Amino acid sequence: MEARPSIAVLTFPGSNDDRDAAWALGSLGAEPVLVWHGDGELPDVQAVVLPGGFSYGDYLRCGAIARFAPATAAVKRFADEGGLVLGICNGFQILCEAGLLPGVLRPNRSLQFVCRDVPLAVERNDVPFTARCEQGQRLTIPVKCGEGAWYGELPDEQVVLRYAGENPTGALDGVAGVCNEAGNVMGLMPHPEHAVDPLLGSGDGALVLASLIDAARERLAVPH
Amino acid sequence: MKATVTVRPKEGILDPQGEAVRTALDHLGFPVEEARVGRVIDLTFESREDARAELERMCQELLANPLIESYEIVVDGS
């Protein structure tokens, strides 16, 4: 049996997709470990997921307060050492506010909360988060956000996912997911953890999470 | 000591909230060319010499996101 890498899933006050993310990771072959926002150290894990939700009530700006949580500081150290970090929705917003990813997420251009399946195009499959996808592959994964319009400046090669067709949030150039320069940190507005079973509309999110799990498994120091 | 920080969407940045307010004003019978929505943060703190520089850092690091927002600091009595 393949080894199950440990993946931390952070819980902030107001996170609401932490358990969905943990369940999805567990069903795809990882050992999810819920980490409380007040913890200043991460347990021994091979990757970290910052889940969706409304951390700290989205006060001031979404993600702006979560940046100061002790657990976020630990994630920053983990990322600086090359650790794998995936931010989903509010997790993406937090990573931008924390300076781990470029840009910022602004209110949707429509001012409406958008909650539906959207088609995405894989712009890069050479990062640990999309290795199971084909370059240019179309994925269907739901978005679920009021502030998902990415805005900022970044070179094209840091765009990992783009909305294919309609742009549900008004994100600049249809950007749906970006990575840092080193490629070990990625954020995306769509929710892969809500699309891991065709029974629920799409299983395409499993490609993203399973890619992360593959990469995390490679980082297990000693095979069991 | 008191200070007021006003944070606004930077010029040229689309402000969907402001646009919604403009439309609502229009419905009320108050046509305006443009509405921009920002926020005001009132701060009360112990008087100190380097308050000005500290306020500047507060804005840069938390109160505003310099990528999309501009800010203005008014220190009471200054």
Give B16 to chain A, closest Cα distance, Å: 6
What mean pLDDT comes out for the span A207-217?
98
Give per-residue pLDDT as tens, B63-73: 999 999 999 99
What is the per-residue pLDDT for A200?
Answer: 86
Task: Tell me what the pLDDT averaged over chain A comes to.
Answer: 96
Give per-residue pLDDT as tens, A137-159: 999 999 999 999 999 998 889 99
pLDDT at B77 over 70: no
CA distance A158 to A56: 28
pLDDT at A198 over 80: yes
pLDDT at A203 over 70: yes
Pair A189, A151: CB distance under 8 Å: no
Closest C-alpha to A122, from A136, A112, A101: A136
Q: Where are the alpha helices (DSSP H) in chain B?
A: 16-28, 51-58
Tell me whether 0.85 is exceeded by the ipTM.
no
Percent of chain A predicted with pLDDT > 70: 98
Annotation says A157 is catalytic: no
Structure tokens at A155: 């070179």
Measured between beta carbons, the chain B residues lying within 8 angstroms of A93 are none
- Confidence category of residue A125, pLDDT binned at 50, 70, 90: very high
What is the per-residue pLDDT for A76?
Answer: 98
- Residues facing residue A179 across a β-bridge: A186
Residue of A62, A145, A191, A194 marked active site:
A191
Looking at chain A, which residue has its C-alpha nearest residue B62? A64
Pair A144, A93: CB distance under 8 Å: no
Q: How does strand B39-44 pair with strand B2-9?
A: antiparallel
If one counts every other C-beta atom within 10 angstroms of the C-beta of residue A205, the result is: 26
- Confidence category of residue B76, pLDDT binned at 50, 70, 90: confident
pLDDT at B78 over 60: no
On whether the pTM is more than 0.90, the answer is: yes
Give per-residue pLDDT as tens, B2-56: 999 999 999 988 899 999 999 999 999 999 999 999 999 999 999 888 999 999 9
Q: Which residues of A touch B (CB under 8 A)?
A: 60-61, 64, 97, 103-104, 106-111, 151-152, 170
What mean pLDDT comes out for the span A204-224?
89
CB-nearest to B16 from A61, A104, A111 is A111
What is the per-residue pLDDT for B48?
Answer: 87
pLDDT at A2 over 90: no
Measured between beta carbons, the chain A residues lying within 8 angstroms of B65 are 61, 64, 97, 104
CB-nearest to B17 from A64, A97, A107 is A107
Annotation says A224 is catalytic: no
In our burial notation (b when 16+ CB lie closer than 10 A, e otherwise), range A157-173 reads: ebbbbbbbeebbbbbee
pLDDT at A222 over 80: no
Show Cβ contacts of residue A100 under 8 Å, excluding neighbours closer than 6 positions: A75, A76, A79, A85, A87, A180, A185
Give per-residue pLDDT as tens, A14-58: 999 999 999 999 999 999 999 999 999 999 999 999 999 999 999
CA distance A99 to A152: 12
Residue of A62, A89, A96, A179 marked active site:
A89
- Residues facing residue B75 across a β-bridge: B3
What mean pLDDT comes out for the span A202-221?
95
SS3 A49: strand
Closest C-alpha to A209, from A111, A93, A130: A130
SS3 A67: helix
Give per-residue pLDDT as tens, A63-90: 999 999 999 999 999 999 999 999 999 9
What is the per-residue pLDDT for A224?
Answer: 47
Q: How does strand B39-44 pair with strand B69-75?
A: unpaired
Closest C-alpha to A72, from A96, A54, A89: A96
- State the helix-helix crossing angle for A205-218 and A18-27, rounded to 10 degrees: 70
